Amino acid sequence: MAKVKVGINGYGTIGKRVAYAVTKQDDMKLVGVTKTKPDFEAYRARELGIPVYAASEEFLPRFENVGFEVAGTLNDLLNEVDIIVDATPGGMGEKNKPLYEKAGVKAIFQGGEKASVAEVSFVAQANYENALGKDYVRVVSCNTTGLTRTLSAIQDYIDYVYAVMIRRAADPNDSKRGPVNAITPSVTVPSHHGPDVQTVIPINIETSAFVVPTTLMHVHSIMVELKKPVEAKDVVDIFENTTRVLLFEKEKGFESTAQLIEFARNLHREWNNLYEIAVWKESISVRGNRLFYIQAVHQESDVVPENIDAIRAMFELADKWESIKKTNKSLGILK
Amino acid sequence: MAKVKVGINGYGTIGKRVAYAVTKQDDMKLVGVTKTKPDFEAYRARELGIPVYAASEEFLPRFENVGFEVAGTLNDLLNEVDIIVDATPGGMGEKNKPLYEKAGVKAIFQGGEKASVAEVSFVAQANYENALGKDYVRVVSCNTTGLTRTLSAIQDYIDYVYAVMIRRAADPNDSKRGPVNAITPSVTVPSHHGPDVQTVIPINIETSAFVVPTTLMHVHSIMVELKKPVEAKDVVDIFENTTRVLLFEKEKGFESTAQLIEFARNLHREWNNLYEIAVWKESISVRGNRLFYIQAVHQESDVVPENIDAIRAMFELADKWESIKKTNKSLGILK
Amino acid sequence: MAKVKVGINGYGTIGKRVAYAVTKQDDMKLVGVTKTKPDFEAYRARELGIPVYAASEEFLPRFENVGFEVAGTLNDLLNEVDIIVDATPGGMGEKNKPLYEKAGVKAIFQGGEKASVAEVSFVAQANYENALGKDYVRVVSCNTTGLTRTLSAIQDYIDYVYAVMIRRAADPNDSKRGPVNAITPSVTVPSHHGPDVQTVIPINIETSAFVVPTTLMHVHSIMVELKKPVEAKDVVDIFENTTRVLLFEKEKGFESTAQLIEFARNLHREWNNLYEIAVWKESISVRGNRLFYIQAVHQESDVVPENIDAIRAMFELADKWESIKKTNKSLGILK
Amino acid sequence: MAKVKVGINGYGTIGKRVAYAVTKQDDMKLVGVTKTKPDFEAYRARELGIPVYAASEEFLPRFENVGFEVAGTLNDLLNEVDIIVDATPGGMGEKNKPLYEKAGVKAIFQGGEKASVAEVSFVAQANYENALGKDYVRVVSCNTTGLTRTLSAIQDYIDYVYAVMIRRAADPNDSKRGPVNAITPSVTVPSHHGPDVQTVIPINIETSAFVVPTTLMHVHSIMVELKKPVEAKDVVDIFENTTRVLLFEKEKGFESTAQLIEFARNLHREWNNLYEIAVWKESISVRGNRLFYIQAVHQESDVVPENIDAIRAMFELADKWESIKKTNKSLGILK
């Protein structure tokens, strides 16, 4: 069967990782990516033999001025693909959607968009089936994906969830954003993250969120009020048997997010991607009818396998577990 | 009546602030402070006319080597005072206690000590009376004090509290401790902070804690399960009428801990002390039977007025509100 | 003689400090300040009894919407003053100048403006006389002021200066700007700071500059090629006798900028202002014909006394040393 | 010819990278590595099939307690190897040397040791020949290596060098060290780095050093007084033709150390190693008889190829350029 032709609109933190992941799939073909300017990321794409398109006509001069030959513009790319992965900054996906509709291509949007932009909000292990044959799918944000991965695994036990999210201020390659020395709360409590989880799984959840001066990972402090009894060791077993979730022990030196990223660096993962959600094993505990655990989310990469699985679902290339296993194998995801 | 003669063992972050506060009281006299070495803090004390004592015999050479004349050692100081405020690093207070007992002086310990070191764990507005006439009182930690201030004000409504504490990694004058770029969880959940609050007020509380790379303040994300209904505006009223608690509005520019500290700097508070617990007004919300709010704690100073009130209680110099009002007025605490 | 009536356009980091300093002078009167929005800084000004004006007509609605009564707009303020201190963001001063000319008031600009905006670029101890009677004076930037203070003191020995400036990324009350975890060089070498020093003193100087993730102070690594021999101890003597320059010893615990700011906090300086340039005593050394030293600059406050002295010079209220002594005394500057 | 049998004493930041590099060489064999405790790094080594030895007898219980089987202790490893690469913390190498002598194995030490520990201080492209056949070689520190790489390339033009080093506070996997928010100078000026460069190449150099709160890279601001004229474009040519030195343009988005590391991540370099010294092309400039440029050094990896080349020189396996080319090719060093 012909490979699905994939284009990436926005070759940034997520876009470049999804582009890489597509090249690792035997049932997909990367047709090209868009850039707004000829920076080192654009030159790297060209080195890799990836056709680079201008994100729109208006950006062409930037490329011409430095003699960077583009393969065309977004519209040209749209004519070449079966599906476009929109990895543009939050809110732009909605603006781009008419172009995709006009071109008659399927589209995947990221978590920065409103749920209404797509037919389904997606986390593979939670609701792969809902995306089967769909034209517009939204892969939820890194934080929502992280919450959904672990919470969907213990869904039967959940009466209520309260999660506090301690968010990294900027990505490692972003030297503009702050704060340098402050903690910034989202003063609207509960935050929007709870409802966002509910676009994927029907659980009772409320959240609050804070930004702190670090670049590596987000961290979630999760408290679950239990519908039925469970012991900590049972939850350990469940997470050990949950795909894209890994347990880490402080006792082995995983004292902070710094060592979690070092773990990914030791694996020689591309861009030190930690596709899996990292749960501190010692943090899993049950007190009365409450379960507690702490997890970390690699904001740069946890949604990458979700984008791949979403493509498969939208073209009905594979069933849920066939796709997840295929994606995991291709990216070196441990389980 | 004769002023209570106060000594400070450990002229550090807390010790120097308590020493300053003592000099602002008309019923107390600062006799002296101890230092382990003649650093700029020791020279500042001398400039201020505060007698400096060596924290122990072993440290005398350090002072002699640079010709810094000390008034004696800790034992000499103990002979001159009615009460010693132990502001030494966590755990040392317990080791020092026998010296205080031998000298027959009352002692205040800080939150770094186990509760068992003293007869009562203390937060003035919560349990001033319990310290009346006592010989050994423990002023609880900055975080425990912060939690107790707001939670004791709404105690009647509390069925259960879950608080997540996002802690500053180091004090502003500490250039040794990290992390520079990571989030470090306390993987033992619930953390020890909940039980510590229970040494002051009998509420059902569990906590988790994280360290992040900032120096300004700790931030608490608090969720309360309500015993009886309350509206957000009622909680606003309660906090507006609670001493040593202030409401701040993001709408007025208080977007992070940075602007809270700027508020204290604008007041020209000594060391930009923010003795009051800062609650973000917009964060106070009620959903069903749950109350949420976010507060920030100035780890360097919120316990300072507590040390002063503890002294008054231990010598029965004043009743609860007389002491709190006196302390507030002397330190410029707004309410 | 009537006090000089002073207005402040821009009540931010510098503006609010200059406003405070004006209120400490017996020959000046603070008439009012401008704000673009009714944030907590505006409310603080009102608490202090300082008339608040809208920075322009366009901002009036922001104040009306929250019922914050302003005394008028910038133009109204200009009608009330003899001189306006422009403390608006870099580059805006030049745009504002026509308003000042139209109103016929003298004006002081800050270092964010081009030198051409004013008749003279000013550092009191270096060229006070040049500002006598002038209508438009530019107080140079915090970094240029810092370099000029120490370099003008050793000017006779200077053949050539190379200074490397390690700059704080954001002010303590700024929670937006980064980087969180990177070092950002100014790749144009030499940087613009050298020529800026030359607008005040005629020395041969080149500089390079870097931004690092800290908020407290800028640090300068200075190398001077000597025109004639000098010993380190002579330079120590010179700096000890130089106003607005202080020597700090690492041996006494001044290991980093953190302890320098703690020094200012210990003095209970308003906003922990360190008006003086801080030179590490141990860093002053001479090797062959080269002198080396390291200094730190408190970007929030070192230019504040310069603004006050500039006002005096422009109205010929006092001669150089009379003004400097007066300003130093009023602000608690140590020497 | 038999492969050289290599052991690594200290499987940390440098040790694990050198171990990896050794496995990439066709003329060397990795025999084993030592660890002081069974943390995740030890488990990773075992996963990779690398024999793990206890760094000394005293550490055996730590491994036994968790059932981690070691291949023996350091002494056992020494019996199996031709050469040991000492990658222990600074100063320990000197203490370890007698063990190496007793075992009759050659040894490489790192830059944390005094030059006197070895017969030669080494940077391959500068003095490979000096290490031929030697028993004890010291690979100089990351900073010294970085300075030597670019300065040796323009050595003929150098009359005098002044370099200011802005150092990262902690490595990315270190969550203990600070400062969180300060700049810490080395107050001894000139710093020890200049003399350290002179252990490799005979140039006239002085340096100063500062620590700042970042984890990614060190940055050097370099000023060279020229012995003979050179133009910026000539220096660009020289660096473009210098091995293990790369030019980066801010114009292409390399605004800070964050984007330099992103470049290495884009290359999918193991641990995002940037073995090459990164020079900002726009920063290279000549003014009169002075040359300026700014470079960044990846402290975790730039010395790794040097260790490999040192092994070849010590066993005379190849001549200088044969070894450098071989090492570069094996590690994907671009030129």
Instruction: Assess contact for C92 and C116: CB atoms under 8 A.
Output: no
- Which helix or strand (DSSP H or E) is residue A166 part of? strand A158-168
Residue C175 scores a pLDDT above 80: yes
Question: How far is the first Cα of chain D from the last one, in angstroms, to the nearest whole number?
Answer: 28
Nearest chain D residue to C214 by CA: give it. Answer: D181
Q: How far apart are CA B77 and CA B84, in angstroms?
A: 9
Residue C239 scores a pLDDT above 90: yes
Between chain A and chain C, how many beta carbons pairs sit less than 8 Å apart? Answer: 60
Residues of B in contact with A215 (CB under 8 A): 181
CA distance A53 to chain B (A): 36
A133 has catalytic annotation = no
Cβ of B38 within 8 Å of Cβ of C252? The answer is yes
D58 touches chain B (CB under 8 A): no
B68 touches chain A (CB under 8 A): no
Q: What percent of chain C has pLDDT over 90?
A: 99
Strand segments, DSSP code E, in B213-281 are 218-226, 245-248, 277-280
Q: Which partners does chain A have (≥3 C-beta pairs < 8 Å)? A: B, C, D
Q: How confident is the model at residue C16 (pLDDT cuts 50, 70, 90)?
A: very high
Q: How far apart are CA A44 and CA A38, in angstroms?
A: 10
Beta bridge partners of B122: B139
C1 touches chain D (CB under 8 A): no
* Per-residue CA distances from B63 to B48, C24, C104 (Å): 18, 39, 61
Average pLDDT value for residue range A195-216: 98
Average pLDDT value for residue range D256-262: 98
pLDDT at B75: 97
pLDDT at D172: 98
How does pLDDT run across B274-319, given as a tens digit for each residue? Answer: 999 999 999 999 999 999 999 999 999 999 999 999 999 999 999 9
Would you list the DSSP string of A58-69? Answer: GGHHHHHHTT--
Do D291 and D309 sit in the same domain of this protein? no
Q: Which residue has the tokens 């347990």?
A: A247
Average pLDDT value for residue range C122-146: 98
Residue B45: CB atoms within 10 A of its CB come to 22
Catalytic residue ranges of B: 142
Q: Is D84 annotated as a binding residue?
A: no
CA distance B275 to chain A (A): 18
Instruction: Assess contact for B153 and B224: CB atoms under 8 A.
Output: no
CA distance C173 to chain A (A): 9
Cβ of C185 within 8 Å of Cβ of D293? The answer is no
| Helices C304-314 + C13-23 axis angle, to 10 | 60
Q: How far apart are CA C142 and CA C65, in angstroms?
A: 36
Nearest chain A residue to B188 by CA: give it. Answer: A283
Q: Which residue has the tokens 């509760």?
A: B115
B214 touches chain A (CB under 8 A): yes
Q: B188 Cβ partners below 8 Å, 6+ apart?
A: A282, A283
Determine the Cα angle at B206 with ends B203 and B212, to 5°: 130
Do C148 and C119 sit in the same domain of this protein? no
Would you list the DSSP string of D269-318? Answer: -GGG---SEEEEGGG-EEETTEEEEEEEE-TTTTTHHHHHHHHHHHTT-S
Do D155 and D283 sit in the same domain of this protein? yes
Q: How confident is the model at residue A53 (pLDDT cuts 50, 70, 90)?
A: very high
Residue C335 scores a pLDDT above 80: yes
How does pLDDT run across A88-121, given as a tens digit for each residue? Answer: 999 999 999 999 999 999 999 999 999 999 999 9
Instruction: Please tell me chain C's helix, strand, coil percentages from 3-state DSSP, rounded to the nearest 5.
Output: 40, 25, 35
Nearest chain D residue to C170 by CA: give it. Answer: D181
- Which helix or strand (DSSP H or E) is residue C14 part of? helix C13-23
Residue B1 scores a pLDDT above 80: no
Q: How confident is the model at residue C217 (pLDDT cuts 50, 70, 90)?
A: very high
Token reading at B322:
């007389």
Residues of D in contact with B184 (CB under 8 A): 175
Do C16 and C133 sit in the same domain of this protein? yes
Average pLDDT value for residue range B231-242: 98
* Per-residue CA distances from C252 to B44, B60, C310, D223 (Å): 11, 16, 35, 32
In what order do the strands lie in the sheet containing D4-9? Answer: D52-54, D28-35, D4-9, D83-86, D106-109, D136-139, D120-122
Do C110 and C203 sit in the same domain of this protein? no
Q: How confident is the model at residue C291 (pLDDT cuts 50, 70, 90)?
A: very high
Catalytically annotated residue among D31, D142, D166, D247: D142
The identity of residue A157, as a single letter, is: Y
Q: How confident is the model at residue B139 (pLDDT cuts 50, 70, 90)?
A: very high
Q: How far apart are CA A293 and CA A232, in angstroms?
A: 10
pLDDT at B171: 98
pLDDT at B290: 98
How many domains is chain C built from? 2
pLDDT at D142: 98
Q: Is A141 annotated as a binding residue?
A: yes
Residues of D in contact with C250 (CB under 8 A): 187
Phi, psi values for residue D138, rounded to 5°: -110, 115
Do B288 and B309 sit in the same domain of this protein? no
Residues of B in contact with D180 (CB under 8 A): 169-170, 174, 177-180, 213-215
Q: How confident is the model at residue A165 (pLDDT cuts 50, 70, 90)?
A: very high
Determine the Cα angle at C308 with ends C302 and C313, to 5°: 125
A290 touches chain B (CB under 8 A): yes
Nearest CB to B177; choose among D172, D178, D184: D178
Q: Is C273 annotated as a binding residue?
A: no
C11 touches chain B (CB under 8 A): no
Average pLDDT value for residue range A186-201: 96
The identity of residue A189, as a single letter, is: V
Q: What is the mean pLDDT of chain C?
A: 98
Nearest CB to A221; choose among B208, B217, B280: B208
Q: How confident is the model at residue B198 (pLDDT cuts 50, 70, 90)?
A: very high
How does pLDDT run across D63-113, given as a tens digit for each residue? Answer: 999 999 999 999 999 999 999 999 999 999 999 999 999 999 999 999 999
pLDDT at C262: 98
Residues of C in contact with D213 (CB under 8 A): 212-214
C214 touches chain D (CB under 8 A): yes
The identity of residue D16, as a single letter, is: K
Q: What is the sign, positive or negative, of the torsion defined by CA atoms of A306, A312, A314, A319? A: negative
Please, what's the b/e burial string for D74-97 (b: 16 or more CB within 10 A of its CB; e: otherwise)? bebbbebbbbbbbbbeeebbbebb
pLDDT at A124: 98
Judged by DSSP in three states, A33 sits in strand
ipTM: 0.97
Identify the domain containing residue A117 by its residue range.
Answer: 4-140+303-331
Cβ of B40 within 8 Å of Cβ of C253? The answer is yes
Instruction: Assess contact for A212 and B164: CB atoms under 8 A.
Output: no
Do B107 and B172 sit in the same domain of this protein? no
Do D323 and D270 sit in the same domain of this protein? no
Alpha helices in chain A (DSSP H): 13-23, 40-47, 60-65, 74-80, 92-103, 124-127, 142-153, 193-198, 232-240, 257-266, 304-314, 320-331
Pairing of strands D277-280, D290-297: antiparallel
| Helices D257-266 + A40-47 axis angle, to 10 | 10
Nearest CB to C265; choose among B258, B262, B271: B271
pLDDT at D80: 98
Average pLDDT value for residue range C51-55: 98
CA distance B188 to chain A (A): 6
Q: Is C143 annotated as a binding residue?
A: yes
Can the peptide bond before residue B190 be classed as cis, meaning omega within 30 degrees of 0?
yes
Do D195 and D273 sit in the same domain of this protein? yes
Q: How confident is the model at residue C57 (pLDDT cuts 50, 70, 90)?
A: very high
* Per-residue CA distances from D282 to A280, C144, C187, D235, D252 (Å): 45, 24, 6, 12, 11
Side-chain-side CA neighbours of D94 within 13 Å: the count stands at: 9
pLDDT at D230: 98
Q: How far apart are CA B83 and CA B310, in angstroms?
A: 11
Instruction: Assess contact for B227 and B155: CB atoms under 8 A.
Output: no
Q: B191 Cβ partners below 8 Å, 6+ apart?
A: B165, B207, B208, B209
pLDDT at A14: 98
Nearest chain D residue to A38 by CA: give it. Answer: D252
- Which helix or strand (DSSP H or E) is residue B48 part of? none
Instruction: Assess contact for B38 and B115: CB atoms under 8 A.
Output: no
Q: Which of A266, A270, A298, A334 to mutate to test the interface with D (most CBs of D within 10 A)?
A: A266
Do D116 and D162 sit in the same domain of this protein? no
Do A180 and A260 sit in the same domain of this protein? yes
Residue C1 scores a pLDDT above 90: no
DSSP code, position D45: H
C65 touches chain D (CB under 8 A): no
Alpha helices in C154-225 (DSSP H): 193-198
Q: How far apart are CA B251 and CA C118, in angstroms?
A: 37
Cβ of D259 within 8 Å of Cβ of A173? The answer is yes
Domain of residue A24, CATH code: 3.40.50.720
pLDDT at A164: 98
- Which helix or strand (DSSP H or E) is residue A109 part of? strand A106-109
| Helices C142-153 + C232-240 axis angle, to 10 | 120
Do B165 and B242 sit in the same domain of this protein? yes
Q: What is the sign, positive or negative, of the torsion defined by CA atoms of A239, A242, A245, A251? A: positive
Q: How far apart are CA B131 and CA B120, in angstroms?
A: 6
Q: How confident is the model at residue D9 (pLDDT cuts 50, 70, 90)?
A: very high
pLDDT at B285: 98
Q: How far apart are CA D272 and CA D292, in angstroms?
A: 28
Residues of D in contact with A298 (CB under 8 A): none
Enumerate helices (H) and strands (E) in chain C, giving the number of each. 12, 15
How does pLDDT run across C266-288, given as a tens digit for each residue? Answer: 999 999 999 999 999 999 999 99
Domain of residue D282, CATH code: 3.30.360.10
Q: How far apart are CA B274 and CA B246, in angstroms?
A: 10
How does pLDDT run across A248-291, given as a tens digit for each residue? Answer: 999 999 999 999 999 999 999 999 999 999 999 999 999 999 99
Residues of B in contact with A250 (CB under 8 A): 187
Residue D303 scores a pLDDT above 80: yes
Residues of B in contact with C174 (CB under 8 A): 258
Residue B186 scores a pLDDT above 80: yes
Q: How far apart are CA B11 and CA A325, in angstroms?
A: 61
Nearest CB to A185; choose among B187, B285, B294: B294
